[in-house]
Amino acid sequence: MPDDTPPHDQQLARAVANALWWYLQRDAWTPHRQVRAISATGNPRGHNYAPGAIPGPTPTVELISITWQVRTWLWSDQWPGRACYAIELKRQAHNEALANLPHAAIAELDAAYESPMRKPFRVDTDHDGRRYLTRNREAETMTHLVAGALEAIASRASLELIPEHVERALIEDHDISLETIQAAIARAAAR
């Protein structure tokens, strides 16, 4: 077991890997569809007729792209860094991270996905009493190669720091929408 606490960036990557683990283990990617409104006249809103008049062409949508992604949260109480992040990992970034790994790491990562392991990294304490995330040594499939692969994947995720008051609101109100969160972050940044 190392005597020194790993650097913060590695700790954040490990915490993000823990947050993404459930989705990666189940290959649970969700589609994000980008669309735009179109109509036969080229006007995306159609025509505005008076009540009772014949309506113009109804707008429809055109699919521009589909991006497969995972969106999740890293709560401040889930890791020693004590900060909350919104995490977004796109499938393309995941695949690019895998492309840069040795074949042995990818094979061991696939084996780890099949294991019943709940979290790849766990909180431990160093000789000074500081807490840090370390490889889950209780799981046989959690090797150094798997840890490196998960850190590489996690480093490709987009992170957005969530202010403490927004995190508290999220914890207290599970019905809050993504738009409300983004508006609260924009207001906090404007202060």
Which pLDDT tens digit goes with each residue over 173-182? Answer: 766 676 777 7
Residue 131 CA to residue 5 CA, distance in Å, equals: 8
- What's at 33, amino acid-wise? R
Which pLDDT tens digit goes with each residue over 118-168? Answer: 999 999 998 998 889 999 999 999 999 999 999 999 999 999 998 888 888
* pLDDT above 80 for 172: no
| Phi, psi angles (nearest 5°) of residue 132 | -155, 160
Q: Which residue has the higher pLDDT, 23 or 166?
A: 23
Q: Is the distance from CB of 75 to CB of 167 less than 8 angstroms?
A: yes
Q: Is the distance from CB of 25 to CB of 109 less than 8 angstroms?
A: no
Distance of CA 55 to the CA centre of its chain: 43
DSSP H or E stretch at residue 31: strand 30-38
The pLDDT value recorded for residue 167 is 83
pTM over 0.85: no
The pLDDT value recorded for residue 3 is 36
The pLDDT value recorded for residue 11 is 93
Query: Which one, of 92, 121, 172, 91, lies nearest residue 14 by Cα?
Result: 121
* pLDDT above 70 for 5: no
